[in-house]
């Protein structure tokens, strides 16, 4: 499965990366690196520089063979050299600033394993600031000599070609330049708005809203300007610009699917921001309209005559991206205890033929992505977290790396399983998948406890009797136990109240 890169160095994440069992352009395994040796520092600098050219950066795992199996090669002394300050000090000799590198040391089954996160370069690529050279022993005419090995030269640029770190080629340059242009569009939008403000223009601000044409609200605004304008429209109950925007978005999205993935991502982000602001300001009617627009865009992935999926990579990516944004909104709804919104975000069923089998867009997108080898078991939660990181409106209550964010994502996933089982009246595998079980149980446990203790939460989320809920919880938790056999993060829900509820009300406990 394709690794989803995020700035996370937890043991949970490390175990998932080890379970990939094969290297990728954004994932490299190394049995051993001794940063007291110049040769190893140079080789690491080469890989770090190359991963900075990846769209999302990447990971380097030290202490595992090329199949992700932990090995005992990394000594405690060598592991200590990966202290972030020391690591950065050694790398900055070779790598031009700025660059982002983080590292953490973990104990996996009694072995030292280092996880290194490499952030993507905001400049698009890394230029080496110093020659990467080291001396190695060799033999010439039967005599031992010292030979200089040059891995890279000052001014070189390395990129990832599959699992190899190599000098860039013409095709790499064109691709990376296009990516840089796409990344900088947001900065250009901000600059444009600031220039207009400096000139006294108000067409992109909310200060003189009554003078704005309704078409002024567009997803092509920069994120901060867009959020400001939407907030002011919601505050004034000025619904026409918002209605026009939400009506236009599916049609505009259809023109971007194949050729403008970054522009499409911006459009989806702006739509997500409207939903997040609707949640924050308790405007449920706007969240419902946002979801209507999201479903309409999701429906673009189906042939209108047959109802079957258009199984092209861009279409599968669209489905993943939409549901990742549903996770970001669902997590916010969990933190706000807006249970009706949690249900709406979890149970959407677009109009494709596949939804005669799949219980919700969450399960459908997960399956489509897995079949295309584009996502792992945790992909929707991880992608949802990356959406939160990128949108201020999606985490008004917390910093994006606060543990509560990831916890709420796991709880949304767990509650989504129960919602769909209740609404479809079946625990069939086509209705749900417990992605939350790939994380520690403490993250999702409050979702199950809440369903037992909070009657308002239970009634807003679950359609059915206490017996049906108890059976649903038992099945979902049993499936979670079975799905976790590879990772070792999940250890089951150890909550007496949940166990008692299942035993008392479930079918197995009914005489």
What is the rounded CA–CA span in Å between residue 432 and residue 381? 14
On whether both 417 and 482 belong to a single domain, the answer is yes
- The answer as to whether 361 is a domain residue is yes
How far apart are alpha carbons 76 and 67 in whole angstroms? 22
Indicate if 223 and 242 belong to the same structural domain: no
Asked whether residue 218 is domain-assigned, the answer is yes
Report the number of distinct structural domains present in the chain.
3
Whether 175 is covered by a domain: the verdict is no
Residues 353 and 339 placed together within one structural domain of the fold: yes
Q: Where are the alpha helices (DSSP H) in 119-259?
A: 170-198, 223-235, 239-254
| Residue 326, in any domain of the structure | yes
Three-state SS at 362: helix
> CATH number of the domain that 103 lies in?
3.30.950
Same structural domain, 224 and 301: no
Residues 6 or more apart whose Cβ sits within 8 Å of residue 473: 418, 448, 451, 498, 501, 502, 506
Note whether 200 and 243 are same-domain residues: no
Report the C-alpha dihedral over residues 189, 288, 314, 227, rounded to 10 degrees. Answer: 10
The answer to whether the CB of 360 falls within 8 A of the CB of 420 is yes
297 and 445 co-located in one domain: yes
Q: 108 is in which domain, residue-wise?
A: 11-168
DSSP 8-state code for residue 486 = T
Same domain, 138 and 82: yes
Q: Per the domain annotation, does 502 fall within a domain?
A: yes
Query: Which of 168, 196, 218 is at the close of a domain?
Result: 168
Q: Please give the chain's pLDDT, 511 residues, in tens.
A: 578 899 999 999 999 899 889 999 999 999 999 999 999 999 999 999 999 999 899 999 999 999 999 999 999 999 999 999 999 999 999 999 899 999 999 999 999 999 999 999 988 999 999 999 999 877 777 777 788 999 999 999 999 999 999 999 988 988 888 888 877 777 777 776 665 555 554 444 555 655 667 677 889 888 998 999 999 999 988 899 999 999 999 999 999 998 888 899 999 999 999 999 999 999 999 999 999 999 999 999 988 888 788 878 899 999 999 999 999 999 999 999 999 999 999 999 988 788 888 889 999 998 888 887 776 545 799 999 999 999 999 999 999 999 999 999 999 999 999 999 999 999 888 899 999 998 999 999 999 999 999 999 999 999 999 999 999 999 999 999 887 766 567 888 888 999 999 999 999 654 3
Q: Where are the beta strands (DSSP E) in 87-142?
A: 101-108, 111-118, 132-140
Predicted TM-score of the model (pTM): 0.89
Q: Classify residue 173: in a domain, yes or no.
A: no
* Counts of helices then strands in the chain (DSSP H, E): 18, 8
Whether 124 and 254 map to the same domain: the answer is no
């Amino acid at each position: 499965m394709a690794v989803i890169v995020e700035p996370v160095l937890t043991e949970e994440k490390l175990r998932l990366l080890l379970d990939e069992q094969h290297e990728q352009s954004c994932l490299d395994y190394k049995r051993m690196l001794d940063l007291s040796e110049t040769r190893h520092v140079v080789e690491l600098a080469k890989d770090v520089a190359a991963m900075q050219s990846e769209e999302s950066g990447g990971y380097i795992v030290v202490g595992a063979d090329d199949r992700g199996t932990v090995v005992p090669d990394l000594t405690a002394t060598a592991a200590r050299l990966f202290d972030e300050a020391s690591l950065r000090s050694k790398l900055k000799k070779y790598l031009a600033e700025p660059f982002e590198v983080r590292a953490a040391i973990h104990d996996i089954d009694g072995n030292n394993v280092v996880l290194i996160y490499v952030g993507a370069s905001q400049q698009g690529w890394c230029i080496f600031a110093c020659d990467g050279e080291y001396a190695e022993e060799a033999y010439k005419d039967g005599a031992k000599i010292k030979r200089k090995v040059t891995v890279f030269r000052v001014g070189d640029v390395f990129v990832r070609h599959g699992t190899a770190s190599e000098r860039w080629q013409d095709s790499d340059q064109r691709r990376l330049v296009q990516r840089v242009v796409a990344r900088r569009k947001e900065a250009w939008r901000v600059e444009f708005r600031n220039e207009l403000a400096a000139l006294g223009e108000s067409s992109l601000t909310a200060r003189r809203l009554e003078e704005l044409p309704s078409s002024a609200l567009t997803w092509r605004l920069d994120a901060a300007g867009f959020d400001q304008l939407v907030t002011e429209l919601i505050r004034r109950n000025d619904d026409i610009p918002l209605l026009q925007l939400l009506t236009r978005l599916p049609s505009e999205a259809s023109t971007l699917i194949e050729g403008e993935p970054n522009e499409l991502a911006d459009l989806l982000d702006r739509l997500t921001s409207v939903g997040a602001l609707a949640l924050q300001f308790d405007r449920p009617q706007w969240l419902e309209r946002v979801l209507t627009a999201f479903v309409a865009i999701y429906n673009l992935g189906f042939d209108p005559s047959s109802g079957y999926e258009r199984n092209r990579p861009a279409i599968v990516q669209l489905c993943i991206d939409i549901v990742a944004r549903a996770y970001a909104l669902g997590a916010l709804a969990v933190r706000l205890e807006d249970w009706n919104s949690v249900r709406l975000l979890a149970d959407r069923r677009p109009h494709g033929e596949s939804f005669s089998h799949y219980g919700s867009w969450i399960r459908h997108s997960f399956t489509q992505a897995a079949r295309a080898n584009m996502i792992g078991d945790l992909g929707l939660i991880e992608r949802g977290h990356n959406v939160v990181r990128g949108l201020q409106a999606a985490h008004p209550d917390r910093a994006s790396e606060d543990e509560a964010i990831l916890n709420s994502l796991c709880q949304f996933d767990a509650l989504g399983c129960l919602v769909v089982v209740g609404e479809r009246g079946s625990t069939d595998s086509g209705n749900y998948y417990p992605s939350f079980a790939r994380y520690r149980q403490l993250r999702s446990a409050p979702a199950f406890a809440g369903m037992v203790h909070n009657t308002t939460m239970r009634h807003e989320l679950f359609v059915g009797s206490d017996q049906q809920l108890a059976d649903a919880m038992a099945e979902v938790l049993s499936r979670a136990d079975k799905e976790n056999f590879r990772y070792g993060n999940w250890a089951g829900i150890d909550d007496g109240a949940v166990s008692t509820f299942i035993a008392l009300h479930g079918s197995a406990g009914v005489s």
